[in-house]
């Protein structure tokens, strides 16, 4: 079973609908047992970094344990940013620090939020990008991630700067865009993620 962590943030139903569409059961849950037993975890998120971290705090150890066990993990949008050490958006709040690095505001040269369909530029192989080329996917965000180790970036999108769009390290995957709102390409990425579940 795939569990989608419900910590009071964002449009969780869309991700569940995405999995249903590709014929996979998933569960939107705030239940610690369901999160602990999940074969794969999805961390969604819309909103502010600080508030989300506050709500996520009690699930933090379950997330660490899940990743430690080598089970597939997917962070989406804010769920990608929360994997970092800290964010300019809420500078006093510690992130999950799974990817050392910072979350910083997009440069003001372009409209903020970066909202709409942007084209992926694949940097390196990543299991969730199998069969994905320079597709357009749907972004909505005002901050972007700057990892200490750039090797985790599997794809970027050009928006004045190269915005990290897909991160990938061992069993941890994350997308800055919303695969559940990115049409067929997004569903293909969810399908690739599901394939990782034994």
Partner 1 sequence: MLAKRIIPCLDCDLQVPHGRVVKGVEFKQIRYAGEPVDLATKYYQEGADEIVFLDITASHERRETMADVIRATTENVFVPICVGGGIRKPLDYVNMLKAGADKCSTNTAAIHNPDLINEASKIVGSQACVIGIDAKRRYIEEESEASDKIIVETKKGLAWFDCSIYGGREFTGIDAVAWAMECEDRGAGEILLTSMDRDGTKDGYDLELTRTISESVDIPVIASGGVGNPQHILEAFTLGKADAALAASIFHFNEFPVPQVKAFLKENGVVVRAK
Residues involved in catalysis? 77, 178, 180
The answer to whether the beta carbons of residues 171 and 122 sit under 8 Å apart is no
Choice between 32 and 115, CB closer to partner 1: 115
| Least Å from the CB of residue 89 to partner 1 | 11
Stretch that binds partner 1, among 31-39, 42-50, 68-76, 97-105 (CB under 8 A): 42-50
Number of residues that bind partner 1 (CB under 8 A): 35
Interacting residues of 29 by C-beta distance below 8 A, sequence separation 6+: 3, 4, 5, 6, 35
Q: Is 159 in the site for partner 1 (CB under 8 A)?
A: yes
CB-wise, 20 or 60, nearer to partner 1? 20
Q: What is the DSSP string of 44-113?
A: ---S-HHHHHHHHGGGHHHHHHHHHTT--EEEETHHHHTTEEEETTEEEEE---SEEEEEEEPPTTS-SS
Q: Is 88 in the site for partner 1 (CB under 8 A)?
A: no
Residue 108: count other Cβ atoms within 10 Å of its Cβ.
Answer: 8
76 backbone φψ class: left, alpha, beta (φ>0; ψ -120 to 50): beta
Position 24 contacts partner 1 (CB under 8 A): no
d(CA 137, CA 118) in angstroms, rounded, equals 6
Question: Could you tell me which stretch among 65-73, 98-106, 169-177, 184-192 binds partner 1 (CB under 8 A)?
Answer: 184-192
Of the residues 24, 27, 34, 46, which one makes contact with partner 1 according to CB under 8 A: 46
Stretch that binds partner 1, among 95-103, 104-112, 143-151, 169-177 (CB under 8 A): 104-112
Using CB under 8 A, pick the residue from 27, 104, 112, 122 that binds partner 1. Answer: 112
Q: How far apart are CA 192 and CA 96, in angstroms?
A: 25
Helix (H, G, I), strand (E, B) or coil at 142: coil
With CB under 8 A as the contact rule, which of the stretches 33-41, 83-91, 99-107, 181-189 interacts with partner 1? Answer: 181-189
The H or E element that residue 192 is part of is helix 183-195
Encoding tokens for residue 171? 């069993």
Residues near partner 1 (CB under 8 A)? 10-11, 13-14, 17-18, 20-21, 46-48, 108, 110-119, 136, 138, 140, 142, 158-159, 180-184, 186-187
């Amino acid at each position: 079973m795939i569990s989608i962590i419900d910590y009071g943030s964002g449009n969780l139903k869309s991700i569940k609908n995405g999995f249903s569409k590709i014929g996979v059961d998933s569960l939107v849950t705030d239940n610690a047992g369901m999160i602990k037993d999940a074969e794969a975890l999805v961390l969604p998120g819309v909103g502010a970094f600080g508030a989300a971290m506050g709500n996520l705090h009690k699930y933090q150890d379950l997330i660490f344990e899940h990743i430690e066990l080598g089970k597939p993990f997917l962070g989406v949008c804010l769920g990608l940013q929360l994997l970092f050490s800290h964010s300019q958006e809420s500078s006093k709040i510690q992130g999950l620090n799974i990817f050392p690095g910072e979350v910083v505001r997009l440069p003001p040269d372009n409209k903020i939020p970066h909202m709409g369909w942007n084209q992926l530029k694949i940097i390196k192989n990543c299991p969730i990008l199998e069969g994905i080329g320079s597709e357009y996917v749907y972004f909505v965000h005002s901050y972007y991630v700057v990892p200490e180790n750039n090797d985790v970036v599997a794809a970027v999108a050009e928006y004045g700067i190269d915005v990290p769009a897909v991160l990938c390290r061992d069993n941890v995957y994350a997308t800055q865009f919303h695969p559940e709102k990115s049409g067929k390409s997004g569903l293909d990425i969810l399908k690739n993620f599901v394939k990782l579940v034994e």
